[in-house]
Structure 1
Amino acid sequence: MSKLWIIRNRLISAAIPVSAVAVMCALIVVVFAIMLISLSVGNQFIGIGQILFDMFSRSDTLSEFIAQSLRFPRVVMSAIVGAALASSGLLLQSMIRNPLASPDVIGITGGASAAAITYLSFFSSTLGIFWLPFFSILGAFSAVLLVYCLAWRNGITPMRLILVGMGISALMGAITTFAIAASPLSTSITAYIWLTGSVYGANWKDVQALLPWVCVSLPFLLLFTRQINAQELGDQISTGLGISVQSLRLGMLIISVVLAAPAIAYVGAIGFVGLIAPHIARRIVFRSFGLLLPVSALLGACLVMLADLVGRTVFLPLDVPAGVFVSAIGAPFFIYLLYRQRF
């Protein structure tokens, strides 16, 4: 029997397996290792020792500018986006009790993409790029609100939610395609790049804008670990334990949008992170939401950082968007899950 760490206070009471803590510590080390490697390699190689020296000495050198001003915000943005998308995917899978659930399936990604591409195609030339994240977030919330309203019939059931979500995602995809086809060539190229999902050009202002969404949402979710764990056991058991299932589902859906929509708004439609990371997390830690959440977030951060690292180093001088490599992994993984669901 594995050893447990007991945490009790006014807000939470939890028993955490020591093995899960070891996994989280190992993943944190991996995250920092990938960060250091990402800061080091590229068009110009910078030694890790030089990076650490520049970080603490604030030297005005070319290597310091490349590492701190160009690569570091890109790496941090990759980690935040990966953590946000993975956490959103885990939340949706727990809510719907379906391993195929993710922001891509429920309509979050489709709504954000449709709004962003419409803005890029028809409004960016007059309003500039500043309002793009706001349009994207508004599109994601609008799509999810439409999904929720259409799926409501004396309450929300997981199957109706996922079926309606897939239909709305298809509709959003049609709107996105029309917007690209109707836009000028110059803006359609920008739209295509955004759709692939890339952290190219990320800066510290973007990081500061995105970080609060994640830092507030993740700790808040941990307060509802018991309710979410009970919800996964079924509606009857949850109701018997005094949980308002419909209110909990609505809250989980809103927070999943709050996590995923800003991330998609700033870097584009990086798919499959919310599908892959939670599945890997369920294989390596106990199936409690309170343990799965941090592990999924760390795995998502690793996945996007690695995809971006490969995209900007393996095919030099090309800078291939991170979304291309995540999709290359995610599409076969999705097919594998579909195959397993048959049996």
Structure 2
Amino acid sequence: MKIPTAFAALLVMAGVAVMLGSYPIGIGDIFADAEDPLLRVIVLELRLPRILLAVLSGAAMGLSGVILQSLTRNPLAAPGLVGVEAGASVTVLIAMILWPSALAMELYPLAAMAGGLAVALLIAGLAWSVGGTPLRLLLVGVGISAMLAAVADLLITYGRIEAVESALLWLAGSLHRAGWDNARSQLLWLMLSGGPALLLHRHFDLFLLGEAVARSRGLHVAGFRNGVLLASVMLTASAVANVGTMSFIGLLAPHAARLLVGERHAVLLPMAALLGGGIVLLGDTLGRTLFAPLQIPAGLLIAGIGAPYLLFLLSRKGGLR
């Protein structure tokens, strides 16, 4: 019952987001003046694709967070903490700043996926080459992320000013470039990578029981681990390519979902997707309406919530273990 309730709440939030903005629109105006050209542009070309992209990208990051936390059996794992997001974002930054005309925007998700996958494989190889643990995976991820952050800073420092301005806004987690092309791209990648992850909910439950138990129940552990890691990279990379970096969605959404529905992945995965979409939509709606016409990137508002929550988790868990 909680999944339909969360879905209904997300629809209500989307409806409110359509009406709010620097040009407020009443629900009656949408139906009474449906042929008004200005109204059609605002609703159909500006707000609806932005709302849809916020929901889809948030859902992708929420699912990615659940996958990584289940793989590492660590509640603090998230795409932003294990290097996947950093690899994807640096790849897109290179395309945006060094070779802006060499890669079409529609191909940014593929470029981000290549970078995210390369970093994920590097981290997995370094962490598991000597019988690594989930803690080792996190620590290696943090180290690689720091190195990639230095590369990003170098690109921003010495890049062309016009390209850097756009890149900085994108890095903050902004939906200012949202359009139907981005929304369709995000929907495609969400279906390709999130759909199979949702169908594997029983495999996730088995994996959490331990590798020995999972093998005894017929689960091919290595194949499952590699497959869902690839799905997580695809989800993260597509979201990063379309809306930039919003590191804490992959941490916030899974924990909020566990508080509501528990650990069963049949309901945890879709709930995390719905909550992730809701968090990004809320952050974007507040960012573009609180100080309209000035727009605050959604990623900044989400980070303001996510950072204190991470500190709370660390204090409650007694640190990383």
Tell me if both proteins adopt one fold, taking TM over 0.5 as the criterion.
yes
Task: Give 1:50's aligned residue.
Answer: 29
Rg comparison, structure with higher value: 1
Return closer, same or farther for 1:317/1:242 CA change in 2, 3 Å cut-off: same
5 Å-filtered alignment, 1:14-163, equals 22-52=1-31, 59-124=35-100, 129=105, 131-153=107-129, 157-163=133-139
Distance 1:215 1:252 in 2: 14
Aligned-pair RMSD on alpha carbons? 1.8
5 Å-filtered alignment, 1:272-291, equals 272-291=248-267
The alignment's TM-score, normalised by the length of structure 2, stands at 0.94
The alignment's TM-score, normalised by the length of structure 1, stands at 0.88
What residue identity is the alignment partner of 1:197?
G
Distance 2:80 2:67 in 1: 13
What residue identity is the alignment partner of 2:211?
D
Q: Once the two structures are aligned, what percentage of the paired residues are identical?
A: 37
Greater RCO, 1 or 2 (C-alpha within 8 Å, sep 6+): 2
What residue identity is the alignment partner of 1:72?
L
2:151 to 160, 169, 175: 175
Q: Deviations over 1:57-109 (max 9, x none)?
A: x5243112211111100000000001000000011111111010011011111
Q: Does 2:198 align with 1:222?
A: yes
Secondary structure of 1:42 counterpart = coil
Q: Does 2:217 align with 1:247?
A: no
Q: Which runs of 5 or more residues in structure 2 are unaligned?
A: none
Distance 1:227 1:130 in 2: 33
Q: Deviations over 1:221-277 (max 9, x none)?
A: 233222211111222322332323222211121110111111110111112001001
Secondary structure of 1:44 counterpart = coil
C-alpha displacement of 1:131? 4.4
Distance 2:52 2:149 in 1: 29
Distance 1:85 1:333 in 2: 17
Distance 1:51 1:96 in 2: 47
Q: Does 2:275 align with 1:299?
A: yes
Tell whether the 8 Å contact from 2:90 to 2:115 is kept in structure 1 after alignment: yes
- How many residue pairs get aligned? The number is 319
Tell whether the 8 Å contact from 1:120 to 1:132 is kept in structure 2 after alignment: no
Return closer, same or farther for 1:53/1:279 CA change in 2, 3 Å cut-off: farther
Distance 2:225 2:111 in 1: 25
Distance 2:236 2:31 in 1: 32
Q: Which runs of 5 or more residues in structure 1 are unaligned?
A: 1-21
What residue identity is the alignment partner of 1:35?
A
